[in-house]
Amino acid sequence: MNMPLKKKPVSGMKDILPIEMQIREYVLEVIRSTYRSFGYTAIDTPAVEHIENLSSKQGGDNEQLIFKILKRGEKLSLQNAESENDLCDSGLRYDLTVPLVRYFAAHENELPTPFKALQIGNVWRADRPQRGRFRQFTQCDIDIIGDASSAAEVELILATAQALTKIGFKGFQIRVNDRRILSFMASYCGFGEEEQTEVFASLDKMEKIGNDGVLAELEEKGFDSVKIKKVLDIIAVLQKLGRESDASSLMKQLALLLKGYLNPHVAADLGTVINNILALKTSEWEIVFDPTLVRGMGYYTGTVFEVNVPELGGSLGGGGRYDKMIGAFTGKNVPAVGFSLGFERIILLLMERGFVVPEQSERRAYLIEKGVENSKVIEIMQKAQLEREQGEIVLVIWMNKNKKFQIEQLQKEGYTQIVDVYLEDSKPT
Amino acid sequence: MNMPLKKKPVSGMKDILPIEMQIREYVLEVIRSTYRSFGYTAIDTPAVEHIENLSSKQGGDNEQLIFKILKRGEKLSLQNAESENDLCDSGLRYDLTVPLVRYFAAHENELPTPFKALQIGNVWRADRPQRGRFRQFTQCDIDIIGDASSAAEVELILATAQALTKIGFKGFQIRVNDRRILSFMASYCGFGEEEQTEVFASLDKMEKIGNDGVLAELEEKGFDSVKIKKVLDIIAVLQKLGRESDASSLMKQLALLLKGYLNPHVAADLGTVINNILALKTSEWEIVFDPTLVRGMGYYTGTVFEVNVPELGGSLGGGGRYDKMIGAFTGKNVPAVGFSLGFERIILLLMERGFVVPEQSERRAYLIEKGVENSKVIEIMQKAQLEREQGEIVLVIWMNKNKKFQIEQLQKEGYTQIVDVYLEDSKPT
């Protein structure tokens, strides 16, 4: 006798039940076909990545959340292991950006320039489990590698907005900012360049932990209290001014606030991004300038952006420009910008809204009474096959004893045509 | 400065380049839509599985090939660890069957009866790397849980043959056998029931290591040499008789050979499977009875089957009935039968054949010369968007310095319409 099975999935991960799976497959197909229509090229990378690449400091806090994989065979020596890293040579990827950068570095010569990549795949983070947040989840990333112009940002944002619109979202807001604008602000407040990554990491938590939380964290990190006060005051003023689709008026006020610290070229570039998107967008969503937007990752060098929907606290996705990340790995900088959709949040929202996948095929079920002669079964299966060829989904199954319950279940699954096949002599008259 | 990146994927795993990815996505969509038309329900399970479930002895040799995942936080104690298992609480799944059985056990009450599952996903095995064999690979499994009748086998085989046909395979052969027939043969040769799993495991290697190899292995395992000779002689006779779609004549000869050891009900059931498939199949492939077919896994209890194509040594997939596996885990037997497609081999074969994905959309590229005024760029992007809405794939990119090379690359990717957009004053006349 075997050990009894552990029935539940491992802690923090989940089985996908049929109804959710239908929605996931539908949404993935919408995302895939939308991005494909913009000329993005699908790629795939292994789930397992070198531990060195995952620990390169590009991954920020996610590097604390790696599922590490044990070495195998002779390479594993329990006796000589002094730390975790002696036991592991690889881990599960925590995002799709590190693998993308490795992929690009390995295959650059085989890829078009610029390279517009679409990568959809699972990532793993050993986060504390909490509602709606899982340790395995799907990400959908598009990235443009090799285009330094703001046309890349415009297209990433338009393509993503179109995918969200096709899924059925309306009235969402895409906020944009530029890390360099944050940097000008930090410089104006007296923070040195080397301090800024830490300052931004704290400012990024504003929505989660509030002004006081950020204040406490910055003090704890040991920053000068005058500088902290200055930066928090500016943020408060900017928040009052609000987010603006008329970027130039907000930019003017920002320039006044920062008294000469704002580089006009950077401001103009961001203005172009926003104005071009305003000129090109055709559906109901907003693009706004939000000079308080940070985005967590340390590797961003320019524009950053984030999608929010009114009814959801967090974001549905985001991204930004990371012109120095490839160089940090390979020694040669290549401009890059990416947008990552929060697939799991999209699914969660759709499930909560009771979203039903638009049915493209008629669903028909043949319920065959047990004992029906073989020739009759063959005849039904032939008929079913012809119907499948005409685009129907056709199920041929045995009739259960509790036929009423069986039919109810089938109707729930979307079977509208249910045909009973009885034994000749038991056919109801 | 960061550590330089390791550019290659981890040993034995691979990056999927754009051309292969196109084929993979196409084939997956054909498989998915074919199985869906038969009423299979897509599900998904986590890549990470409890180490106990992966080590239940149901996985055969694959249990030696697990990528094990290190415990995290307080649960990991390097000092007190005496063996690998003290360090690990989970591992990457090596097949989709163990997770399916766990899934069914956990969610039985929420699933239809019978449950027809489609699961497509990656699995991981720390096999010695070799050509065309990778440590991460995709499997496509269909399973019917809760149907003890041979109608389940008939449908699994027909659905799979149809998927292969739609992908473009012709002339493949599906061999079927029944583990109980092998068992009768082993009993006739004098092997006890408890010896048979080991005997079958060796017989399964006949194609790989030949008659002498199997002989040596069985002797090494310590089996009686008279019994070994007897079973190998019968196999040799059966191989001479060949594989037969007219199962009944081969079955008659087998009955003569086994002198009363062949249970006629089992023989008749298998005959029904073959005859019904012969009656139902509509395309060019063969279904044959092969009394020497074993299939490696220990958990099979009845029919086993395997697809072969003429030009390929190995198989394109296979499966069988495993009526006792769910019971071994949960204490309650539920009939189950499954067919697993060897997705990676299918892709490998298609790549070798120079398969080209049938293009459904026109591909158009706008090459914009650097410096073109912004209003013109917007105009092109608007035009592109309208063309996308008409079903085209439209790329808008900057013109590279080496335009000739860029155009060649685009043509390779399938772009047939390439439109240059020049600065007003540099337009060639």
Distance, CA of B137 to CA of B344 (rounded, Å): 7
Query: Does A51 touch chain B if contact means CB atoms closer than 8 Å?
Result: no
For residue B42, which residues of chain A lie inside 8 Å, CB to CB?
18, 21-22, 25
pLDDT in tens, B2-58: 557 899 999 999 999 999 999 999 999 999 999 999 999 999 999 999 999 998 777
Query: Does A283 touch chain B if contact means CB atoms closer than 8 Å?
Result: no
Q: How far is B313 from chain A (nearest CA, A)?
A: 27
Q: pTM here?
A: 0.93
Higher-scoring residue by pLDDT: A26, B208: A26
Query: Does A197 touch chain B if contact means CB atoms closer than 8 Å?
Result: no
Domain membership flag for residue A151: yes
Is the Cβ pair A155, B381 closer than 8 Å? yes
Give the pLDDT confidence score for residue A246 in this predicted structure: 84
Of A5, A110, A385, the CB nearest to B53: A5
CATH number of the domain within which B110 lies: 3.30.930.10
Chain A interface test: which of B2, B5, B63, B96 (most A C-beta within 10 Å): B5
Does the structure show a pLDDT above 90 at B244?
no
Same domain for B29 and B92, yes or no, is: yes
Angle (CA) B63-B67-B71 rounded to 5° is 110
Is the Cβ pair A43, B17 closer than 8 Å? yes
Q: Please, are residues A372 and A422 in contact by the beta-carbon 8 Å criterion?
A: yes
Of A15, A48, A110, the CB nearest to B106: A15
Same domain for B260 and B369, yes or no, is: no
Query: Does B333 touch chain A if contact means CB atoms closer than 8 Å?
Result: no
Query: Does A124 touch chain B if contact means CB atoms closer than 8 Å?
Result: yes
Same domain for A329 and A423, yes or no, is: no
pLDDT of chain A, 429 residues: tens digit per residue: 455 788 999 999 999 999 999 999 999 999 999 999 999 999 999 999 999 999 877 777 788 899 999 998 877 777 777 777 788 999 999 999 999 999 999 999 999 989 999 999 999 999 987 777 899 999 999 999 999 999 999 999 999 999 999 999 999 999 999 999 999 999 999 999 999 988 998 998 888 899 999 999 999 999 999 999 999 999 999 888 888 888 888 889 999 999 889 999 999 999 999 999 999 998 899 999 999 899 978 889 999 999 999 877 779 999 999 999 999 878 899 999 999 999 999 999 999 999 999 988 999 999 999 999 999 999 999 999 999 999 999 999 999 999 999 999 999 889 999 999 988 765 555
Give the pLDDT confidence score for residue A1 in this predicted structure: 43
Give the pLDDT confidence score for residue A425 in this predicted structure: 60
Q: How far is A184 from chain B (nearest CA, A)?
A: 24
pLDDT in tens, B94-112: 999 999 999 999 999 999 9
Query: Does A268 touch chain B if contact means CB atoms closer than 8 Å?
Result: no
Both structure tokens of B272: 């029904």
Domain that holds residue A74: 11-168+310-358
- Say what percent of chain B tops pLDDT 90: 73
Both structure tokens of A57: 């400091």
Domain membership flag for residue A341: yes
DSSP B215-278: HHHHHHTT--HHHHHHHHHHHHHHHHH--BSSHHHHHHHHHHHHTT-S-HHHHHHHHHHHHHHH
Q: Final residue of a domain: which of B306, B322, B344?
A: B306
Both structure tokens of A196: 């800024």
Is the Cβ pair B39, A13 closer than 8 Å? no
Same domain for A20 and A159, yes or no, is: yes
Sheet holding A417-421, edge to edge: A393-398, A363-368, A417-421
Give the contacts of A144 (CB within 8 A, at least 6 positions apart): A114, A115, A116, A117, A152, A155, A156, A336, A337, A338
Is the Cβ pair B381, A45 closer than 8 Å? no
| SS3 category, A223 | coil
Domain membership flag for residue B5: no
Same domain for B73 and B128, yes or no, is: yes
Mean pLDDT confidence for B194-217: 91
Same domain for B300 and B332, yes or no, is: no
Q: How far is A231 from chain B (nearest CA, A)?
A: 29
| SS3 category, A14 | coil
For residue A143, which residues of chain B lie inside 8 Å, CB to CB?
none
Of B14, B41, B329, the CB nearest to A46: B14
Query: Does B18 touch chain A if contact means CB atoms closer than 8 Å?
Result: yes
For residue B279, which residues of chain A lie inside 8 Å, CB to CB?
378
Give the pLDDT confidence score for residue A197 in this predicted structure: 87
What residues of chain A, 350 to 389, have a C-beta less than 8 Å from chain B? 361, 363, 365, 374, 377-378, 381-382, 385, 388
Among candidate residues A394, A109, A332, the one with its CA nearest the CA of residue B37 = A394
Provide the ipTM. 0.93
| SS3 category, B141 | strand
pLDDT in tens, B412-421: 889 999 999 9
Both structure tokens of B164: 């292969």
pLDDT in tens, A176-202: 999 999 999 999 999 999 999 889 989
Domain membership flag for residue B2: no
Same domain for B391 and B407, yes or no, is: yes
Residue A366 DSSP code: E
Q: How far is B100 from chain A (nearest CA, A)?
A: 10
Q: How far is B370 from chain A (nearest CA, A)?
A: 10
Chain A interface test: which of B13, B26, B34, B48 (most A C-beta within 10 Å): B48
Among candidate residues B103, B119, B104, B112, the one with its CA nearest the CA of residue B28 = B119
Of A87, A116, A328, the CB nearest to B87: A87
* Maximum Cα interatomic distance, chain A, rounded to a whole number of Å: 94
Is the Cβ pair A44, B15 closer than 8 Å? yes
Half-sphere exposure for B120 (CA within 13 Å, toward CB): 19
Same domain for B377 and B247, yes or no, is: no
Of A36, A147, A158, the CB nearest to B393: A36
Is the Cβ pair A53, B385 closer than 8 Å? no
Query: Does A306 touch chain B if contact means CB atoms closer than 8 Å?
Result: no
Domain membership flag for residue B231: yes
Query: Does B4 touch chain A if contact means CB atoms closer than 8 Å?
Result: yes
Domain membership flag for residue A285: yes
Domain membership flag for residue B424: yes
Of A6, A38, A43, the CB nearest to B18: A43
Is the Cβ pair B44, A15 closer than 8 Å? yes
Domain membership flag for residue A5: no
Q: How many domains does chain A have?
A: 3
Distance, CA of A418 to CA of B112 (rounded, Å): 15
Q: How far is A33 from chain B (nearest CA, A)?
A: 9
Query: Does B25 touch chain A if contact means CB atoms closer than 8 Å?
Result: yes
Same domain for B217 and B266, yes or no, is: yes
Same domain for B42 and B99, yes or no, is: yes
Give the pLDDT confidence score for residue B1 in this predicted structure: 43
Which chain B residue is nearest to residue A34, measuring alpha carbons? B388
Is the Cβ pair A394, B39 closer than 8 Å? yes
Mean pLDDT confidence for B335-362: 93
For residue A15, which residues of chain B lie inside 8 Å, CB to CB?
43-46, 103, 106-107
Q: How far is A331 from chain B (nearest CA, A)?
A: 8
Of A70, A393, A413, the CB nearest to B70: A70
Is the Cβ pair B103, A45 closer than 8 Å? no
Sign of the torsion angle spanned by Cα atoms B75, B80, B81, B86: negative
* Distance spanning both ends of chain A, measured CA to CA: 50
For residue B38, which residues of chain A lie inside 8 Å, CB to CB?
388, 393-395
Q: How far is B146 from chain A (nearest CA, A)?
A: 10
Give the pLDDT confidence score for residue A60 in this predicted structure: 74
Is the Cβ pair B48, A272 closer than 8 Å? no
Q: Final residue of a domain: which of B306, B327, B346?
A: B306
Same domain for A159 and A16, yes or no, is: yes
Q: What is the mean pLDDT of chain B?
A: 91
Is the Cβ pair A3, B392 closer than 8 Å? no
Q: Final residue of a domain: which of A343, A358, A373?
A: A358
Does the structure show a pLDDT above 90 at B181?
yes
Is the Cβ pair B67, A68 closer than 8 Å? no
For residue B108, which residues of chain A lie inside 8 Å, CB to CB?
none
Is the Cβ pair A72, B67 closer than 8 Å? yes
Same domain for A143 and A23, yes or no, is: yes
